[in-house]
């Protein structure tokens, strides 16, 4: 059976070079990075080199890169410590954030009585920047938490604009950049965000490793108690094999960024064109059909099929070897509809089948043609 993978927003295929780097490390370097003997020093040096590579690309100090188990831990580190240690009383966010943010914010509201304000959104998932400005001007001890690229509809936040607004009003700014790190150049000296989260498995690295950027002198503290690893921000022996693999995937992602961006943009353009030819009444959720204001990797499609097709369409595609999704993979075990689309679409629109196709450098036009023909048969 032919198999086609269009669920790269959930996770990506690990590059062979990354696997090789990881295997080499596991075979040759097993010292504990906290040990003072040569085995430990060697392991520590490898971690610090990875930290420097990432910091240089983002134009920050290496001391501001903290390795974590992934984006969820990085989000939790920032949000929980900001309330516990930095005196944050108000969190401004949206209802279409990743659940790593939404559920953490909900916990902080219930446990610490933090005020949570959800910004108004337009039909494409864009925030109201005027509302944000007015809110942070009128409040004190504020943390703004907004994702750079929405993982379901691909809408892009103006990261610099929000960072400038926050800086001008002495508000902290945290952004979940899990869908953008490895896909976009970010100069964090120009973009004055205080904290970001990243995850290796979104840019062809392994699962179980990521990093947080924590701007110098923020006052943030660890939420995991134990040793003094990661400059005291994250206790626990570092998973050096994962960190090395993250670094390799990160390096390759930025080495090939321009080429991969151009190639995947062409795929997305072709996919959109073919959908419109075959299904003239197709709609694109959020701004995913707009190549200028959405990420080049995500196309969220609302098909002009009857509602009774909705519940079985993904299953039928899977039978044909096609992997895509109806929303975030983190909610795949839930019977609820996408929380993102539920905020943006009418009840009538929600009844129609929506599918998220997310692309990578490994996809081809032939695979898109196969998806189109399969949808026609359904």
271 φ/ψ angles, rounded to the nearest 5 degrees: -60, -50
> 3-state DSSP helix/strand/coil percent for the chain, to nearest 5?
45, 15, 40
Q: Which among 116, 323, 330, 350 is annotated as catalytic?
A: 330
> What's the token pair of residue 172?
């902290």
Helix (H) or strand (E) holding 117: strand 115-118
For residues 212 and 194, what is the distance between their CA atoms, to the nearest angstrom? 10
Cα–Cα nearest to 71, from 175, 226, 216: 175
Burial of residue 304 (CB within 10 Å: 0-12, 13-18, 19+) is: exposed
| Active-site annotation holds for 330 | yes
Cα–Cα nearest to 294, from 184, 202, 372, 377: 184
Non-local CB neighbours of 281 within 8 Å, separated by 6+ positions? 304
* DSSP-assigned letters across all residues of 190-214: TS--SEEEEEGGGTTS-SS-EEEEE
Non-local CB neighbours of 179 within 8 Å, separated by 6+ positions? 9, 147, 148, 149, 150, 151, 154, 202, 295, 297, 298
Q: Report the catalytic residues.
A: 330
């Amino acid at each position: 059976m032919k198999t086609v993978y269009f669920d790269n927003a959930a996770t990506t295929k690990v590059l062979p070079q990354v696997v090789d780097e990881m295997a080499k490390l596991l075979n040759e370097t097993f010292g504990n990075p906290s040990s003072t003997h040569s085995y430990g020093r060697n392991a520590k040096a490898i971690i610090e080199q990875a930290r420097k590579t990432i910091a240089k690309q983002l134009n920050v100090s290496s001391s501001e890169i903290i390795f974590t188990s992934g984006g969820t831990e990085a989000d939790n580190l920032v949000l929980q410590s900001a309330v516990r240690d930095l005196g944050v009383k108000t969190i401004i966010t949206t209802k279409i954030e990743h659940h790593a943010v939404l559920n953490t914010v909900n916990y902080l509201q219930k446990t610490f009585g933090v005020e949570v304000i959800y910004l108004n959104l337009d039909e494409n998932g864009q925030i109201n920047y005027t509302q944000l400005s007015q809110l942070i001007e009128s409040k004190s001890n504020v943390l703004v938490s907004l994702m750079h690229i929405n993982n379901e509809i691909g809408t892009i936040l103006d990261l610099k604009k929000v960072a400038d607004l926050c800086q001008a009003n002495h508000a902290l700014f945290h952004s979940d950049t899990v869908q953008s790190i490895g896909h976009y150049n970010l100069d964090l000296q120009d973009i004055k965000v205080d904290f970001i989260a990243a995850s290796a498995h979104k840019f062809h690295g392994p699962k179980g490793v990521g990093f947080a950027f924590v701007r110098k002198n923020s006052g943030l503290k660890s939420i995991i108690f134990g040793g003094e690893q990661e400059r005291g921000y994250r206790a626990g022996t570092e998973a050096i094999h994962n960190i090395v693999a993250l670094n390799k995937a990160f390096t390759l992602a930025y080495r090939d960024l321009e080429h991969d961006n151009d190639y995947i943009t062409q795929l997305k353009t072709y996919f959109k064109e073919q959908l419109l030819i075959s299904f003239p009444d197709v709609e694109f959720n959020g701004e995913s059909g707009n190549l200028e204001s959405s990420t080049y990797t995500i196309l969220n499609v609302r098909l002009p099929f009857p509602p009774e097709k909705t519940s079985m369409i993904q299953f039928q595609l899977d039978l044909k070897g096609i992997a895509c999704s109806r929303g975030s993979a983190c909610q795949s075990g839930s019977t609820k509809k996408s929380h993102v689309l539920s905020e943006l679409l009418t009840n009538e629109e929600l009844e129609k089948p929506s599918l998220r196709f997310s692309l990578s450098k490994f996809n081809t036009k032939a695979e898109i043609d196969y998806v189109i023909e399969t949808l026609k048969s359904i």
